[in-house]
Structure 1
Amino acid sequence: MTFKYYDKPELFTGLRDKKTTCDTCGEEKFCFDAEAFYGTEDLNSICPDCLSGGQLNNKDVFTCCGDVKELKRQLKVLNPTLSELEIENIGQQKTTELEKTTPKLITWQDWNWPCADGDYCKFIGFGSKPFYQNLATNLPTEDFFKNSFYDSDSDTDYLWKEALPNKEIKNYEDSNNYGTLFYVFKSLNSDKILTIWDCD
C-alpha cells in the first residue's frame, strides 16, 4: 500500500475489520473508513486503490487540509522567476493531490498538513523518544525533537520531559494509549523532519 504523503497507512490508520463496498468502484474490499472525510458528499468506505488513484477528484470530499499558504510561500522562494499564477497553479495541484489521494490521518484537533522544501511532507509515524533517536543523526535526540516543531510556539521543554512517550508507538492501536500524540513528517525533498502535536 503506497501513498506519496502517507507511510504505512495500514499501520497508522488501518482498514475496516471486514470487507465493505467501496463507494467509488462498488467492489467488496477491505476499505478505509471514509465517514470522517471532509466535504459535502457522504462516503462510507473507499478502497486504497480508489483513493490512491484519484477517485475523489470529481467529488466534494477530501481527507485533510494542506497548509497551502505556507506551500505557496516556499514555492515562491524556491522559484523566484515564476509568476503568481504559476505559483498558484503548482500550489493548487499539490494541494489537490494531497487532499484527494492521501489516507485520513486520525487526529484529535484539526490542523493543516505541513510542507517543506516546496511540497507537502510524508507522515512517517507517531513520535516517541526511540523514534526520534533513530531519526537524529547529527544532533542529540532532545535537540532534534525540539528543532522539528512545525509550530514554533510549542513548549518543547515540557513536551520532551512530560509528554513524549518513552516507548515506541508501533500502530494506531498503540496510539490510543496516549493523551498526547506527536505526528512526525518527513520532507519529500530532503532529510528535514517536522513534528505536529495535539492532545485529547
Structure 2
Amino acid sequence: MVFKRRDSRSIPRVVAEAFWPRGGWVRAAHYVKHRMRRLPGTPEQIARGIFAGAFTVFTPFFGLHFVVAGLLAWVMRGSILAALLATFLGNPLTYVPIALISLQVGHWMLGTQMRGSLDESVFSKFGAAAGDLWHNFVAMFTPETAHWDELYRFHHDVFFPWMVGSIIPGLICGAVCYYLSVPVIRAYQKRRTARLKKKMEKLRDQAGAAAVKR
C-alpha cells in the first residue's frame, strides 16, 4: 500500500505520541506552520480557514472537530485544509485550559455555577455518561431498563454550558489567529514568489548563455 507506514506502531506508542509527538510539540508546531504557509489560496482565504479551526477547538464536539472545522471553513469560503491544520491548537496539552475557560464562561453566561473541580465536572461526568450509553446499548438486546440520568446530568452540567461558553473565547481566539496570520502568510507568499521569479530568471539566463555558446 502506498500510504502504509514502514514502521508499525504499537497501541501504547500511538497513545504516547498523541500526548507527546515524536520530536516534541515544538517540532510538530513548526511542521504545521510550514504546511500552513504553503497552502494554496489568498492570505485572507487561508486565514479564514485558520479562524474556523481555532474556533472549533473550543467546542465540545470531540471526535468531530475536523468535520465542524471543515464545514465552518466551507461556509466562510475559507481554506478547508487550513481549518483542519488549525485544529492542531486543540491537543492534550491545551484541552484542559480550553475546557476550563469554556465551562466557566458558559456557566457565567447561563447564570449557573460549575459543580466541583474540573475533573469532577468533566471527567467523572463524561465517564458516567459513557457508562449510561453502554448500558443503554446493552439494554437494547437484554431485559435491562435504559438509564438516562447520567446523560442528562452530563448535558446539563457539562456539554450545554461548554457549547455556549465556547462561543466568546472561540471567536476571540479565531479573530486573533486571523489577524496575525494574514500579514505573515502574505509576506511569505511574496518572498516565495520573488524566489521563484529569481530562479526562473537565472534559468533563463543560463539557457541564453548556452544558446550563445552554440
Pairwise TM-score range, normalised by the shorter structure: under 0.3
Calculate the TM-score normalised by the size of structure 1.
Answer: 0.24
Structure with more of its chain in helix, by fraction: 2
Calculate the TM-score normalised by the size of structure 2.
Answer: 0.23
* Higher relative contact order, chain-length normalized (CA < 8 Å, sep 6+): 2
